[in-house]
Amino acid sequence: MGGLWLVAMLGVGMVLWLKLLRPAQSVLDIVSNTGYQFVFLVTAGLCYVTYVGFSRAVN
């Protein structure tokens, strides 16, 4: 469950960061942009795999 929480926080952070960088774009435009979706999926996947790997190595 912690990994999903991490991915959700990453998604919210990326949307807020992109909104600050591109104030003229609406949140709907940011969320529906396929380029941003691809970057989010790659970043979220890497973060999730890293989180799970470290949590299993520690426990």
pLDDT at 57: 86
pLDDT at 40: 87
Place of tokens 């960061």: 17
pLDDT at 51: 86
**Residues of the chain scoring pLDDT < 70:** 1
Q: Which two tokens stand for residue 59?
A: 């426990």
pLDDT at 59: 74
Query: Residue 33, CB half-sphere, CA atoms under 13 Å: how many?
Result: 15
Distances (CA, A) of 12 to 19, 53, 54, 57: 11, 23, 23, 27
